[in-house]
Structure 1
Amino acid sequence: MPLRHRPFLRRRRATALALASIGSLFTLAVTGHADATPAAPSPAKITAKPRAGALPASLTPARRAALVKGAQSAAANTARHIGLGAKEKLLVKDVIRDADGTTHTRYERTYAGLPVLGGDLVIHDKSGRLTLTKANRAALSVPSLRSKITAAGAADRAEAASKRAKVTGSQMGKKPRLVVWAGTGKPVLAWESVVKGVQRDGTPSELQVVTDARTGKQLLAAQKVETGTGTGQYVGTVQLGTTPSGSTYQLVDPDRAGHKTYDLNQGTSGTGTLFTDDNDAWGDGLPSNRQTAGVDVAFGAAATWDYYKDMYGRNGIRNDGVAAYSRAHYGNNYVNAFWQDSCFCMTYGDGSGNSHPLTALDVAAHEMSHGVTAATAGLNYSGESGGLNEATSDIFAAAVEFYENLPADPGDYLVGEKIDINGDGTPLRYMDKPSKDGASRDSWSSTLGGIDVHYSSGPANHFFYLLSEGSGAKTVNGVSYDSPTYDGQSVTGIGIQNAAAIWYRALTTYMTSTTNYAGARTATLSAAADLYGAYSPTYLAVADAWAAINVGNRIALGVNLAPVGDQISGIGQAVSLQVDAYTTNTPASLTYEATGLPDGLSISPSGLITGTPTTLGTSDVTITVTDSTGASASKTFSWRIAYVYANATRVDIPDNGPAVESPVTITGRDGNASATTSVYVNIVHTYRGDLTVDLVGPNGTVYSLLNRSGGSADNVDQTFTIDASAQPLNGTWKLRVQDKASIDVGYIARWQLTP
């Protein structure tokens, strides 16, 4: 879903501040969460150049528009190709292309004509080989498009939510619209409302409220206001892009699509007046000169535009060549700044006494980066994805500072240090140790998604600092840092430029609206593999930095061999099992060996075990993988060759309907089944708690395998063991499945019996 308006700051009480939502700059801190262990200083930085083919190709607005148009014209065929239902349609949001021609097309979805919130997905096309990244894996289906809650009822609930959020002057922006909510769990019919008003600190409010159309339950309440020659107060003397107009000059940047900078004159709506000057020399560095804030604001917008353009070939916030605009001098004593996607603009207050404007370079970059997130992954501004959204703006704020490296504001890993909101010289946030602000977390925990997004951003900021600079004590551009790690082990940095390139590719290529911290780890590892090679030193550093904030594990050096589960195969039935291994010693090739394989099986040089088993029995198999440096790893598992009977014919399971059956028939066997009969079941279904699953023996005896257990988890992919010794082997065995609740549907994909 699009993000619209987030302020840079959010207040609780007059103590330490931290950057905040509504595209706003900060929120005040109250409690510390120091949970990281000091680590020894890391070795010197890892240096690497990204693979040229994986870098983004620079697209003109016209070329990008042509790619979007082409993708949209093919959307119906694409939807069928990836297996979407007949009621689903794809709407192209963005297309990016790598230098090697690989395209990444980001789609929103509709269902029966309704927008699907959380239904976004990305299709990656590499020379015709398609892979898919989805925000929600659940099958998209709702039992009815008739709402039990009226639009007026949804509006009442949304306005009540706005009042609970302490928003004043609440009024519906537009009447509620019916949508399908797929942001979490199984999709449901819902109402989406946007309530406008004013937050407690004077920041505009656009509260998005999603209400279950059947039960009236609130599914989401999230802010869409996102809170983030001339002489400026913070940037010093800089060059500005201006435009002559008669005998005067306007603060309109001709080199960046005509970006305009306005003076709101302490107003809170509209655009105010365009900054003009008679001699093209703007501001004097003092807040008493109204042009001074305009210089900071205009330069911040230009620097952020240039950073995304020069580093990633991005042509403006939406990559469409269209400029946003900026508004300075918002309100009276307004201590905040915010990005608003609905106006595609940045707005800056003048701070306490209208003399401490929030117009520093990292504030501008933070706010504009909210717009980039909205145009790409669209990270939901709640839960863990909200923390990642806020961290993304902090990450690129730091990256822009280092990119510009102004004498008056050199690059650092502190957020909002120039604006000095607290009046004591302290920054709003510390990326090397976020808990220093008194409220942000240093590391991930299961409770992270329940706290304010400005504090749940802490672990991602910490990850980025560690990936850029490494752990331990060091000084960068005159600022001292001492970054701890959750696991007490050191991290080696790769430099801020490479770290930012990985985050940008992950954001624009692999993240979706629902990405959480575990998903961000997967996305950044995929990005690192694209840019620097899988299991390269840079790739390993990404894994190390995540482990250092308690997300995932470090990758062991040398040969890594994935575990192989115990196997059961049918005698006379073809086998194909791929052994998964890799080495961190690059470049190095792998060789595979296997001992104890059942008769009739062999392993190929690439680790693929194939053949047809010829002898009943169980053996211990040991796989050994060795790389060309001599490093090796081994795994042992058991392989049972038995009589196995399977049925892989799809059987659809009706929703809340009668039971269905899938049979297998055994002939030519003597005696009864085993007391340890094995039944493997593979059912595709988006709510396994709806299902009962039974095995019916040849004499009619029913064995319960699953009785509506597993809750809202997807699918059944499980092996059950039963005592079927009272059953004759010969005859027809049946898998019986029944769906006993409405909404979710699925099918029997495969099952097998080893009696």
Structure 2
Amino acid sequence: MKRKLALGAALSASALLAGAIQVSAGTAQAVPTPVVGQQRAALLAQADGAAPAAARALGLGSQERLVVKDVVADADGSRHLRYERTYGGLPVLGGDLIVHQDAKGSVKSVDRAIPGTLAPTGLTPKLSAGQAAAQATAAVRATLGTAKDSDEPALTSVDRTGAAQLVLWAATGSPRLAYRTTVEGVRADGTPSSQLLVTDAATGELLSSHEQVQTSNAAGTGNGVFVGNVALTTNYTGSTYELKDNTRGGQYTVTLKNKQGGSGTLYTDADNAWGTGTVSSDQSAAVDAQFGAAATWDFYKNTFGRSGIRGDGVGAYSRVHYGRNYVNAFWSDSCFCMTYGDGASNTHPLTELDVAGHEMTHGVTANTAGLNYSGESGGLNEATSDIFGSMVEFSANLPKDNPDYLIGELIDINGNGTPLRYMDKPSKDGRSADSWSSGVGSLDVHYSSGVANHFFYLLAEGSGAKTVNGVSYNSPTSNGSTLAGIGRAKAQQVWYRALTVYMTSTTDYAAARTATLNAATDLYGSGSAEYAAVAATWSAVNVN
């Protein structure tokens, strides 16, 4: 007999409509359990079946529908149902929400990306889809040859515009009818561009724009192959070995042979011995990439019970030797793949382990909280990738890549031996923020991420001078407090639970504080030392 995910009346209608967060003190140790394969599919199907009841319990209007995106199940039977929303059949951007249930299916609380109800003035656009697509294309073309900032290469071509899709824009302010359009092109350094633009359906006003191809923000030169001698799981066909790992969702690595597109050519080998550790062998970068994908898979699987980037047991694939002299690496949701350039003179591949973990974590974020890639939510998106990229490095614990809180430290992006970013004191890069201020949201997301990076380091390791794995750190606090830290193992559990259970697309730093406090309550109890540490650490980066 199938058990439906009933939505009970444990939370009043008024509290539901207000999006109240009510977490009981008795939920300590509500840790997630692995949900994969048929079990995950069954939970998603049940959550989908529960969507109409959830919509009624939340007081949604007759034109609003909930579409299930993800389910997190805890060991104590609690469940967290993540939904997207539609209105009149149109996707609502910023309409996502999370319903938290106890083991009996009663609603405990709800987290919404936006408060209140949806009441657009109408669903009839003044502009046609063709006009909207043309305006979106014109907006992107207007940026040709100019860079948003010194770290984003200028767009050099606009190659394709997708069909404009009618949506309801609710991420900021009052809901209004809009079009969502994807415009593709190429940047000056060879990075493909896929910009998602949202424009007002009545006036054509640009409401939102963000780059969907998310890079490591790297520019400079690297220093070769990074993982050293490692074990690889490969596939034997009966006549040759393939660089394909069927034990980790079938993830594999291909070469693009210095092209900038295509699915690439799968690596094969006669003796199952791959690469030489030098760039003279094109397999060496492939070894880095394949190991990076495996290490990232193992980190999420062993630490959180997550099976693959989407949590569905399917492995992503990696592409190496992208373009010529391409000094970057990027994750793309559209191909569900990780791509690496060969760096300056095609001799410095961007295949360092924390770069791999960082970029693939963008995929995890896209399939959970879906943090908007702009403003404070964009900073949290980038920080999540830095945080878990570093944790992948600690998890792998390679002798040739000493685990640390430095981002991209081995590829010498700056040409002077310094890393790309510092988690203990982000401002050491000259641009990132150590603590929150009212202007943080206007920074580039790679620099507004500093607040969350600093928070995580302080939560894990504490403040002041210390040495971890032979690396010296000296982390300050904005309020002069002294923090002891709760350790990496607990800190990463808090951040992951906040990401997957409480954060939404519009989460800012204030909401991230609430999300991590809720996560700490679930994991360790509201009166725990861990809960107190999370609160004190946010205060130490001026998020109060």
Give your verdict on TM over 0.5. yes
Query: Could you tell me how far 1:51 is from its partner in structure 2?
Result: 8.2
- 2:81 aligned to which of 85, 105, 112: 105
Query: Where does 1:372-391 land on structure 2 (aligned, <5 Å)?
Result: 372-391=364-383
Q: Deviations over 1:200-220 (max 9, x none)?
A: 321111101101112221110
- Distance in 2 (CA, whole Å) between partners of 1:160 and 1:129 is 50
Match of 2:205 in 1: 217
Q: Deviations over 1:514-539 (max 9, x none)?
A: 00000000000100111111131111
- 1:63 aligned to which of 39, 46, 50: 39
- Distance in 2 (CA, whole Å) between partners of 1:51 and 1:125 is 11
Match of 1:157 in 2: 135
Determine if contact 2:133/2:161 at 8 Å carries over to the other structure: no
Q: Between Structure 1 and Structure 2, which shows a larger proportion of strand residues?
A: 1
Output the amino acid matched with 2:178.
A
Query: Where does 1:479-518 land on structure 2 (aligned, <5 Å)?
Result: 479-518=471-510
Q: Between Structure 1 and Structure 2, which shows a larger proportion of helix residues?
A: 2
Output the amino acid matched with 1:128.
G
- Distance in 2 (CA, whole Å) between partners of 1:168 and 1:147 is 32
Q: Deviations over 1:163-216 (max 9, x none)?
A: 244323314442101000011111110011110001232111110110111222
Determine if contact 2:137/2:161 at 8 Å carries over to the other structure: no
Is 2:320 the counterpart of 1:328? yes
Match of 1:86 in 2: 62
Query: Where does 1:257-336 land on structure 2 (aligned, <5 Å)?
Result: 257-336=249-328
- Distance in 2 (CA, whole Å) between partners of 1:170 and 1:221 is 15
Query: Could you tell me how far 1:59 is from its partner in structure 2?
Result: 1.7
- Distance in 2 (CA, whole Å) between partners of 1:173 and 1:404 is 41
Determine if contact 1:412/1:477 at 8 Å carries over to the other structure: yes
TM-score (norm 2): 0.90
Query: Could you tell me how far 1:155 is from its partner in structure 2?
Result: 1.6
Larger-gyration structure (1/2): 1
Query: Could you tell me how far 1:410 is from its partner in structure 2?
Result: 2.1
- 1:128 aligned to which of 98, 105, 111: 105
Output the amino acid matched with 1:362.
D
- Distance in 1 (CA, whole Å) between partners of 2:394 and 2:142 is 40
Q: Deviations over 1:670-703 (max 9, x none)?
A: xxxxxxxxxxxxxxxxxxxxxxxxxxxxxxxxxx
Which secondary structure does the structure 1 equivalent of 2:100 belong to?
strand
Name the CA shift for 1:322/1:157 in 2 (closer, same or farther; >3 Å).
same
Compute the RMSD of aligned alpha carbons.
1.4
Moved more, 304-313 or 124-133: 124-133
The aligned length equals 500
Which secondary structure does the structure 2 equivalent of 1:481 belong to?
strand
Match of 1:405 in 2: 397
Output the amino acid matched with 2:113.
A
Which secondary structure does the structure 2 equivalent of 1:209 belong to?
strand
Determine if contact 2:28/2:522 at 8 Å carries over to the other structure: no
- 2:182 aligned to which of 182, 188, 194: 194
Query: Where does 1:358-437 land on structure 2 (aligned, <5 Å)?
Result: 358-437=350-429
Is 2:118 the counterpart of 1:140? yes
Output the amino acid matched with 1:95.
V
- 2:50 aligned to which of 61, 74, 78: 74
Query: Where does 1:664-679 land on structure 2 (aligned, <5 Å)?
Result: none
- 1:203 aligned to which of 166, 169, 191: 191
- Distance in 2 (CA, whole Å) between partners of 1:68 and 1:385 is 26
Which secondary structure does the structure 2 equivalent of 1:237 belong to?
coil
Query: Could you tell me how far 1:60 is from its partner in structure 2?
Result: 2.6
Is 2:528 the counterpart of 1:536? yes
Query: Could you tell me how far 1:497 is from its partner in structure 2?
Result: 1.4
Determine if contact 2:27/2:521 at 8 Å carries over to the other structure: no
Determine if contact 1:138/1:185 at 8 Å carries over to the other structure: no
Q: Deviations over 1:86-128 (max 9, x none)?
A: 0000100011100011001100010000011110000000133
- Distance in 1 (CA, whole Å) between partners of 2:142 and 2:524 is 48
Output the amino acid matched with 2:355.
V
Name the CA shift for 1:468/1:143 in 2 (closer, same or farther; >3 Å).
same
Unaligned 5+ runs, structure 2: 1-25, 145-154, 217-223
Query: Could you tell me how far 1:474 is from its partner in structure 2?
Result: 0.5
TM-score (norm 1): 0.65
Output the amino acid matched with 1:296.
D
Q: Deviations over 1:146-174 (max 9, x none)?
A: 11222233222211322244323314442
- Distance in 2 (CA, whole Å) between partners of 1:161 and 1:386 is 21
Match of 1:548 in 2: 540
Output the amino acid matched with 2:267.
F
Match of 1:119 in 2: 95
- Distance in 2 (CA, whole Å) between partners of 1:453 and 1:305 is 25
- Distance in 2 (CA, whole Å) between partners of 1:241 and 1:454 is 34
Match of 2:147 in 1: none
Which secondary structure does the structure 2 equivalent of 1:329 belong to?
strand
Is 2:158 the counterpart of 1:181? no
Query: Could you tell me how far 1:418 is from its partner in structure 2?
Result: 1.1
Match of 1:170 in 2: 158
Q: Deviations over 1:409-444 (max 9, x none)?
A: 121000000111122211000001111111111111
- Distance in 2 (CA, whole Å) between partners of 1:536 and 1:161 is 51
Match of 2:214 in 1: 226
Which secondary structure does the structure 1 equivalent of 2:127 belong to?
coil
Query: Could you tell me how far 1:53 is from its partner in structure 2?
Result: 4.2
Output the amino acid matched with 1:55.
V
Q: Deviations over 1:309-365 (max 9, x none)?
A: 111110111111111100001000000000000110000001111111110110110
Match of 1:745 in 2: none
Query: Could you tell me how far 1:465 is from its partner in structure 2?
Result: 0.6
Is 2:427 the counterpart of 1:451? no
Output the amino acid matched with 2:522.
D
- Distance in 2 (CA, whole Å) between partners of 1:173 and 1:461 is 36
Which secondary structure does the structure 2 equivalent of 1:303 belong to?
helix
Unaligned 5+ runs, structure 1: 1-49, 553-755
- Distance in 2 (CA, whole Å) between partners of 1:291 and 1:517 is 42
Query: Could you tell me how far 1:52 is from its partner in structure 2?
Result: 7.7
Name the CA shift for 1:53/1:468 in 2 (closer, same or farther; >3 Å).
closer
Output the amino acid matched with 1:162.
V
Which secondary structure does the structure 2 equivalent of 1:193 belong to?
strand
Name the CA shift for 1:524/1:164 in 2 (closer, same or farther; >3 Å).
farther
Name the CA shift for 1:224/1:77 in 2 (closer, same or farther; >3 Å).
same
